[in-house]
């Protein structure tokens, strides 16, 4: 049994289109488990009425919401696909995913291949995503090892989801939660990217966390991952330096579809994060008091 888990908050329209993408799959998920804070606000009635959809509620934040979903998995579930609420899947995605994981018992988890990722190129519209996926073949079943799975698209075996869980100290804007989860998941097997599992990550901007909180997480979360042993010191510092320099440059020239105003807010979040690191060390849950 394959369950698709989607955490979402205050993005009911975007979520509905992603659930429709799942409904178009040649191999549909056996259950779509939507984890939200407020069921009435976060999920359209039309979404709740779709076959196989179940809604669970819990604390806000993707790590909390994903763990809430794990707590409510059907006893017969064997595979869990964690998806963001703003992805568009090739119609063969879950079919290839299920077939691959069934044939390769040594694999702990997998991600698909993103034809486009709005995180890197700026927001992608749903219409464009559908066109992009219509133009590519998804028959290949080749795969390659990866160091970490992509947070918007992770499929793991049920027993690994139960054992590993998501670190709820990475609160609200749970930046790098996917990396931390991956590092702990691969104690139980290999992580791979499957070429034939195609998707687009839209990176829809509506109702996302504040840019100040994102800036805060850009510095505090990598240092926290080093502190807890999920990542070495040098890569953590490199991530921090890249975020800082990118925000400084972005204040001067808009880059990757991010406005200069948003870059300034991120930079302010960087400053708040640096202050807290110097005063109290890496405490990522402190993001809750940042506006």
pLDDT digits (tens, 9 = 90+) for 133-144: 998 877 667 999
132 shares a domain with 224: no
Whether pLDDT at 52 is above 90: yes
Q: Which of 125-139, 253-267, 275-289 has the highest mean pLDDT?
A: 275-289
CA dihedral (112, 154, 286, 223) in degrees, to 10, reads -60
Residue (of 259, 11, 60) closest to 173 by Cα position: 60
Q: Exposure pattern of 122-155 as b/e (b: 16+ CB <10 Å)?
A: ebbebeebeebbeeeebeeeebeebebbbbbbbb
The domain in which residue 102 lies consists of: 2-201
Contact by Cβ (8 Å): 21, 49: no
Residues 29 and 54 in one domain: yes
- Does residue 278 belong to any structural domain of this protein? yes
Q: Are residues 264 and 140 located together in one domain of the fold?
A: no
Are 56 and 146 found together in one domain? yes
Final residue before a domain boundary, out of 178, 201, 224 = 201
Domain-terminating residue out of 179, 201, 223: 201
Residue 290 forms part of a structural domain: no
Which tens digit of pLDDT belongs to each residue from 230-249? 999 999 999 999 999 999 99
161 and 224, same domain (yes or no): no
Say what the pLDDT of residue 140 is.
65
- Spatial CA neighbour of 5 closest among 45, 40, 58: 58
CB neighbours (10 Å) of residue 217? 28
Position 217 in a domain:
yes
Domains contained in the chain, number: 2
H/E element, 147? none
What's 284's DSSP letter? G
If asked whether residues 117 and 258 sit together in one domain, one would say no
pLDDT of 207 higher than 80 = no
Sheet strands (E) in the chain: 2-7, 31-36, 53-57, 79-83, 87-89, 107-117, 143-145, 153-157, 190-201
169 and 221 both lie in a single domain: no
Q: What is the pTM of this model?
A: 0.93
**Is residue 19 domain-shared with residue 105, that is, in the same domain?**
yes
């Amino acid at each position: 049994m394959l369950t698709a888990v989607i955490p979402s908050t205050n993005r009911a329209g975007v979520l509905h289109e992603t659930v429709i993408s799942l409904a178009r799959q040649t191999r549909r998920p056996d259950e779509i488990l939507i984890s939200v804070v407020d069921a009435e606000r976060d999920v359209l009635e039309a979404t709740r009425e779709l076959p196989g959809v179940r809604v669970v509620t819990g604390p806000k934040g993707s790590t909390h919401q994903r763990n809430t979903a794990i707590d409510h998995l059907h006893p017969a579930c064997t595979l869990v696909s964690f998806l963001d609420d703003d992805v568009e899947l090739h119609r063969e995605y879950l079919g290839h995913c299920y077939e691959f994981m069934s044939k390769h018992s040594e694999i702990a988890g997998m991600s698909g291949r993103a034809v486009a990722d709005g995180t890197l190129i700026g927001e992608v519209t749903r219409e464009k995503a559908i066109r992009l996926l219509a133009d590519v073949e998804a028959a290949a079943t080749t795969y390659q090892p990866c160091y970490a799975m992509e947070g918007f698209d992770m499929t793991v075996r049920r027993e690994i989801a139960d054992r590993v869980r998501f670190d709820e100290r990475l609160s609200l804007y749970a930046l790098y939660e996917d990396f931390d989860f991956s590092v702990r998941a691969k104690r139980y097997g290999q992580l791979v990217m499957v070429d034939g599992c195609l998707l687009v990550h839209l990176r829809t901007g509506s109702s996302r966390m504040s840019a100040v909180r994102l800036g805060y997480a850009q510095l505090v979360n990598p240092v926290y991952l080093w502190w807890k042993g999920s990542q070495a010191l040098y890569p953590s510092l490199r991530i921090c330096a890249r975020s800082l320099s990118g925000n400084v440059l972005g204040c001067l020239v808009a880059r990757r579809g991010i406005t200069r105003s948003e870059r300034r807010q991120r930079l302010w979040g960087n400053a708040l994060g640096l202050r807290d690191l110097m005063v109290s060390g890496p405490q990522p849950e402190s993001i809750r008091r940042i506006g």
